[in-house]
Amino acid sequence: MNTALTNILDQIINSVPLFKPELALITGFVISIFSSLFLTKIYKHSTYITTLLSLIAVGYLLFDQIGQTATGFSESWIVDPLSSYARIIIVLSAFVITIFIKHRHSCNNGDVYSVLLAAVLGTHVLSSTSNWLLAFIGIEMVSIASYILVGYFSKNKIQAEAAMKYALFGSVCAAVMLYGLSLVYGLTGDLNFEATAHLQGLMDAPELIVSLALLFVFVGIGFKLGFVPFHVWTPDVYQGAPTSITAFLSTIPKVGALILFARLYRSWSSTDFYFSELLEWYMVVVAIATMLIGNLAALRQQDAKRMMAYSSIGHTGFLLMAIYAYQDSAAFLFFYISAYVLMNLAAFLFIDQLEQRTGSTAINSYAGLGKKMPILFTAFSLVCISLVGLPPTIGFMGKLMVFSALFDFTGAYDNTAVILLLAVGALTSVISLFFYFRIPLYAFLRKSEDHAKQRIAPNTLLYVSYAFTILLIFFGLFPSFLIDLFN
């Protein structure tokens, strides 16, 4: 008994180095709470500085982990290229979002940074585990932190309503997922979804109960990823939340949930039990429905943030397609994820700039502004081109790589599903042209009513968004820089 205990302790102590970036995050979280309590009176931006410093420390520790492949804490914590790159993307976008929040909500915001760090910790957990317990903790950490972020600044009815809808819908989805997980645990007696005991338990169980349990589990993951039919919260919450928080919601939680889903799909679809086949068809149907509904519903939106919400649903469908084709090399998956994160952050930064100028996020309020702000709207149009997926931008390269990965994948499998996916993917890209291009259409070709001459004063966020636009073009012309990083 004693030797077993020392063995376990040794194993835990040996796994601690794998957990360094998260330990840094936890330390940063605690310090930022204390600094928002005590140091804010001395120096106004102390919490902001603390958060940025801890994110830099996390990034530094993550760079040490690149290329490492190891498991720790009795195989529940996985460090591999998939998790390392995902966490680097998460930390970089958290860095940008911290700056974004600081510039938009400069007073009374100390706790927002610590909640943001908690959300980042949750996504780290999501992206580096194959254990249902940790996956559930990660999903709940991200969800609870997001409810707080959406409701934190609530100054008007819209924001309060968005926060409540989000919290109620999210909690129901988490509860359903928990019930499904309890059934999965009962059927398998094992919480690691990559373990053979787990797969064997699922294969031996009655088909009806397995289908029901897994359907329940997908409710929770579907809520975090925002795929059909669990996407209904997305447009309301994206429109209601402050723009900086919307930028957070559309990027960070999605990356984490996506990596978890990629791991799950890869380990479950490669077995030969009946559910693998069902899972593949489920995936195809959900991806097609998500792409179609996201892009078609975006066509009739009048609000830029609501349109971006539907556009991010459409991109989720595309990412599901990428997961469907994901076998061994994750380079194309990461390329599309980083393209998606870059494009979304840039788009929300521009929407925020225009919101500062016009006080509205309605697309028709951009009418005639193209002549007054030519550089801003040229850059915004480039971001739109990238979101559609036209050359010479990163969006085009991302879509091209997903399509070609899907073609390579066709060799071994039945073709109908792949051809359907390819056709719908191409079709929805064409549809998306119409709603993204309404932004340059209104800006350059419509006459405006207001003749106010006031311009946007140059600020940090504007430079950040221009830098993002340049990156979009740069990686579109020279994608090998980014691909080489992920290989």
Partner 1 sequence: MITLTHFLLVSACIFCIGMYAVLAKRNAIMILVGIELMINAAILNFVAFSKYDKTNYGGQIFALFAIVLAAAAVAVGLAIILNVYRHFNTINPKNMHELKD
Residues in region 260-319 near partner 1 by CB under 8 A: 297, 300-301
- By CB under 8 A, residue 185 contacts partner 1: yes
Q: Measured between alpha carbons, how far is 461 from 54 in angstroms, rounded to an integer?
A: 21
Work out which of 7, 34, 63, 186 binds partner 1, going by CB under 8 A: 186
171 contributes a contact to partner 1 by CB under 8 A: yes
Q: Does 378 bind partner 1 (CB under 8 A)?
A: no
* Residue 355 binding partner 1, by CB under 8 A: no
Q: Where are the alpha helices (DSSP H) in 153-303?
A: 157-188, 196-204, 207-225, 233-240, 243-269, 274-298
471 in contact with partner 1 (CB under 8 A)? no
105 to 144: interface string for partner 1, x by CB under 8 A: ---------------------------xx--xx--x--xx
Q: Please state, in angstroms and rounded to a whole number, the distance separating the CA atoms of residues 108 and 123.
A: 26
Q: CB of residue 191 vs partner 1: minimum separation in angstroms? A: 5
Instruction: Output 30 or 172, the one with its CB closest to partner 1.
Output: 172
Give the largest Cα separation in the chain, rounded: 81
454-460 long-range contacts, CB within 8 A, separation 24+: 454/357, 455/372, 455/373, 456/353, 456/356, 456/357, 456/373, 456/376, 459/103, 460/99, 460/103
Member of 183, 195, 422, 427 binding partner 1 (CB under 8 A) = 183
Closer to partner 1 by Cβ: residue 85 or 233:
233
Q: How far apart are CA 230 and CA 219, in angstroms?
A: 7
Tokens 């996407």: give the residue.
Answer: 231
CA distance linking residue 382 with residue 398, whole number of Å: 15
* Nearest by Cα to 246 from 328, 338, 162, 187: 162
For partner 1, the closer of residues 172 and 423 by Cβ is: 172
H or E element at residue 70: strand 70-72
240 binds partner 1 (CB under 8 A): yes
CB of 73 to partner 1, least distance (A): 12
Choose, by CB under 8 A, the member of 156, 328, 453, 457 that binds partner 1.
156
CB 223 within 8 A of CB 233: yes
Q: Which is nearer to partner 1, 93 or 159 (CB)?
A: 159
For residue 358, give every residue at least 6 positions away whose Cβ sits within 8 Å of its Cβ, in sequence order, or none. 365, 366, 369
Print the binding letters for residues 200-239 with partner 1: x by CB under 8 A, - otherwise.
-----------------------------------xx--x
CB atoms within 10 A of CB 272: 7
The reply on whether position 75 binds partner 1 by CB under 8 A is no
The separation between the first and the last C-alpha atoms of the chain, rounded to the nearest angstrom, is 45
Please tell me the chain's helix, strand, coil percentages from 3-state DSSP, rounded to the nearest 5.
Answer: 80, 0, 20
Choose one: 49-57, 77-85, 167-175, 393-401; the region binding partner 1 (CB under 8 A): 167-175
**Rule CB under 8 A: is residue 194 a binding residue for partner 1?**
no
The answer to whether 176 contacts partner 1 (rule: CB under 8 A) is yes
Least Cβ distance, residue 69 to partner 1 (angstroms): 24
* Contact residue for partner 1 among 68, 108, 182, 415 (CB under 8 A): 182
Residue 319 structure tokens = 């990412």
**Which residues inside 5-24 make contact with partner 1, applying CB under 8 A?**
none
Footprint of partner 1 on this chain (CB under 8 A)?
Answer: 74, 132-133, 136-137, 140, 143-144, 147-148, 151, 154, 156-158, 160-165, 167-168, 171-172, 174-176, 178-179, 181-183, 185-186, 189-191, 235-236, 239-240, 297, 300-301
